[in-house]
Chains A and B, each alone.
Chain A
Amino acid sequence: MVQMPMPNEGILARRADIVRALYDLLPEACVIADAVARRAYECDAVSAYRQLPLAVVLPRNTAEVAAVLKYCHGAGVPVVPRGAGTSLSGGALPVADGIVLGLGKLNKILDIDFPNRAVVTQPGVTNLGISNAVAHAGFYYAPDPSSQIACTIGGNVGENSGGVHCLKYGLTTNNILGLELVLMDGTILRLGGKQLDAGGYDWLGLLTGSEGLLGVITEVTVRILRKPATARALLLGFPSSQVAGDCVGQIIAAGIIPGGMEMMDRPAIHATEAFVNVGYPLDVEALLIVELDGPPVEVDHLIARVSAIADQCSAMTKRISTSEAERLAFWAGRKAAFPAAGRISPDYLCMDGTIPRRALSHVLTRMGELSQHYGLGLANVFHAGDGNLHPLILFDANKPGEFDKAEAFGADILRLCVEVGGVLTGEHGVGVEKRDLMPVMFSEIDLDQQRRVKHAFDPKLLLNPGKVFPLLSRCAEGGKMHVAGGALAHPDLPRF
């Protein structure tokens, strides 16, 4: 179990008072205090990490969010914001001495504005809910994390979620126009709007992907796009990941940015084919799905060009979708990669590093060696266009020690990503999962700069404590300080 900040005994002792205060602020149905009901909030999608929160609140509007935060700020109670709880990095893991603030009741779309290509929505609306609300007019919201049927737009902003189409269409941060934010002290700020440039410092850029450490999002204005007229895909098999990676490089060098470009290694191909039976070739080392989207003339033109590039790269197998059903079949295996891994292994850990694509072959070789070393299986799916790697580490949590081994294996993979010039996380966030690896990528000075940014928003360090930054080594100049309960003594004092 990952270590969390030591709970503040004083807060735990005041639990009854705190719950009473929350009932004063919110209707009874919006406060969850009993232990059984709170249990539903004890973890997010990283279910290996669990913690029962002090209480859960489900405010219905911005004013209630602000009232709860203001109270917690005054009472020194930590707050963990939560959307749908689909975080893959433990971003919504509760703390024992803090409340969970769920945004699920803020679930209305407020304004659909086609001429300005914008939707104003509350944070608890699901990612797919936005696309569904504008689909009748041929529009959609571009970022499509695989959890899009459940994950909320507020959570997407918190984590800067991606998806398989982000090489061409960007991550959440490239598709947000405005935010309403409540600071920990209850201050309500409105940032940006339907205009393209928000003005002043890039608050939207800073807040998107800040993992709930800077404020609570209560309204989001997103950019919507017209759906591409058509999409077609190629399914390409290669004798090695190296060759497949070279093919990806040549497609990009030819000036083509596909809507999606996904790679799977042999174990992933076999696991998914056994699961969904869509006719993936089983005699190849790497499989590449290249999807071209846009106007039909352009898609046909590019299909021919990518097909020629694949031939030059000695693709062993090549299929080109001729119908929507066939295109979806190409994707079916890739989209089922995670449940397929679940079928061949009792448990798996999904990692999320990004590497420069040129290092792919080296990274896959090293991961194979690590797999041998730890005695744990590995399957790889890879957003090949942008270098975002999702190794799935296969293990059995019921075997003593295997979870620890899997975690150590995962940490080695992420260190390897940084070593070759990549990063710890491409789209899942740091959360608690990669928190302690941050020093692999950042120096203490780098991290202290980020901590001071946190401090500018939340000087009492009450929002989502224990996430993103490594614990226990808060460095103030003049020596290390031990920080208990995530609360810095005398936070108002400048430290140089």
Chain B
Amino acid sequence: MLRAARWLTPIFPASKALPMFTPLTPGELAELVRSTALAGEALALHSGNSLSALGHPPRGDRLHHSLSLAGFDAIIAYEPDELVLTVGPGIPLTEVKALLAERRQRLAFEPPDWGPLYGQPAGIGTLGGVIGAALAGSRRVTAGGARDHMLGFHAVNGRGEIFKAGGRVVKNVTGYDLPKLVTGAFGTLAALTEVTVKVVPAPETVDTLMLPRLTPARATEVMAQALGSPHDVGSAAYLPASIARDLIPGAGDSATLIRLEGFAPSVEARAAALMAEFGGTVERLGADVSRKLWQALGDATPLVGLHEDCLWRISVPPTAGAAILEAVQAVRPLATGWLDWGGGLIWLALPPHPGERDGGAAFLRGLVTDGHATLMRAPERVRASVPVFQPMPPALAALAQRLKASFDPHAVFNPSRLGA
């Protein structure tokens, strides 16, 4: 059993048997990692703890201590002119957004708040969680994801060493791009203590064009046309009628949505040009509806209340999304889902299916030839029995093991979170 060091006051949350460690300095964190490694035990990393149900649950064969990075929550440097922000990973995302908004900036990749999706309160997610799980919203299709805006970090590796990579400037190719590598690694490589991200100006205004009553296949063509146009479309999504009705006032049928952001005269001109190119019925939803709508899509709000369903997020080439969505709904009429990223992202909620114990893993992965399907939310027994993340070919899995070991040779950090 790991003994808590003098400087760590173990907190015993009511629901957990083991103490939660909350180091406040990289030195304390490094000491904790070293002693955990010596004891042959493991650390379950988190900062806001909103995403603890995403990924594989800890396996029972190793003692897992809860390690919170919430103590690393300082704003270290914010230089709006340089487009960089350096903070501790424990800083709440809401705080980051508010800080940037004061200078009319934002994170381009539109990180969502998935707390409510996991039955947690809204607003507890942290920037560390956003980076660890590579969260991105609808703008991912044009602005890139968390990895595209991650510039540098300081961290402690699984050997208990304090190290850094990347830098605090927006353009840097010095050494391996480890900042990208730790993004989306679900805390399996290193425990971050400081991150530098690129920030961008926030747009003056936003509007959304809505084309009603298209089939998913036709919607995909329209989205490809829009995203391939010179009209600077920022994101494009397709909602079936049931979801459109919930999110868009007055909507009665399926909705194909094209978002435009930027300077007001530019948004106006681009909206007019696109409407002329589309022809037919096109509605403009306006700035207020747009902001709420795209936030809801990023946060996957339509799926929050579907407690019985297993939730999936599938990433495919944009033109492949519609056929998968239709194939699912053809045999599972109660499934809920929509397309984002111009068709390249499918959100799905699958209700329990007679005789199916894998949450739909075999069914869905059978439909995905190029891309990957992630089991976003499912009961723990399901997540313990099927791969939450798309299985890798053996040679790649072996490389992933070697890479993990190069950071964390004793498998101290989240050893089973990504699977075997």
Residues of chain A touching chain B, judged by Cβ–Cβ distance below 8 Å, are: 113-118, 138-139, 159-160, 162, 166-167, 170-171, 173-174, 183, 187, 189, 191, 193-197, 199-202, 204-206, 208-210, 226-229, 249, 252-257, 294-298, 301-302, 354-358, 383, 386-388, 421-430, 434, 438, 441-443, 445-447, 449-450, 452-457, 468, 494, 496
Contacts and interface: CB of A to CB of B under 8 A. Distances in A.
Contacts of B60: none
A478 to B, nearest CB: 14
A425 B172 contact: yes
Nearest to A250: B81
16 contacts: A116-B319, A174-B148, A195-B370, A197-B372, A200-B372, A201-B181, A202-B184, A202-B185, A205-B180, A295-B232, A297-B268, A356-B84, A426-B172, A430-B174, A446-B163, A450-B165
Which A-B residue pairs are the 9 nearest by beta carbons? A205-B180, A298-B266, A255-B201, A194-B317, A199-B372, A297-B269, A452-B406, A456-B402, A249-B81
Given A114-B228, A426-B169, 19 more contacts: A114-B224, A115-B220, A160-B177, A162-B173, A194-B318, A194-B370, A195-B370, A196-B344, A197-B134, A200-B396, A227-B230, A252-B81, A255-B104, A255-B204, A298-B266, A422-B167, A446-B165, A450-B176, A456-B405
Nearest to B142: A225
Bin the interface of chain B by size: 35 or more
B171 interface: yes
Interface of B: 79-84, 103-104, 134, 140-141, 144-145, 147-148, 157, 159, 161-165, 167-181, 183-185, 200-204, 220-221, 224, 227-232, 262-263, 265-266, 268-270, 273, 315-319, 341, 344-345, 370-372, 374, 389-390, 392-393, 395-396, 399-400, 402-403, 405-407, 409, 418
Contacts of B165: 446, 449-450
B406 A354 contact: no
A201 B396 CA distance: 10
Nearest to B105: A255
Nearest to A494: B409
A4 B165 CA distance: 25
A166 B399 contact: no
Nearest to B410: A496
A423 B201 contact: no
B232 A450 contact: no
A423 B172 contact: yes
Contacts of B103: 253
Contacts of A421: 168-169
B229 to A, nearest CB: 6
Contacts of B344: 195-196
B365 to A, nearest CB: 12
A32 B370 CA distance: 39
A134 to B, nearest CB: 11
Nearest to B393: A189
Contacts of A355: 169
A202 B167 contact: no
B396 A189 contact: yes
B176 A195 contact: no
Given A205-B183, A206-B177, A354 B201 contact: no
A423 B371 contact: no
Contacts of B389: 199-200
A197 B173 contact: no
Nearest to B396: A189
A494 B83 CA distance: 41
B181 A252 contact: no
Contacts of A449: 157, 161, 163, 165, 178, 406-407
B178 A297 contact: no
Nearest to A185: B395
Contacts of A426: 169, 171-173
Contacts of A454: 176
B164 A442 contact: yes
Contacts of A494: 409
Q: Which of B157, B168, B183, B371 counts the most A-chain CB atoms under 10 A from its CB?
A: B371
Nearest to A178: B370
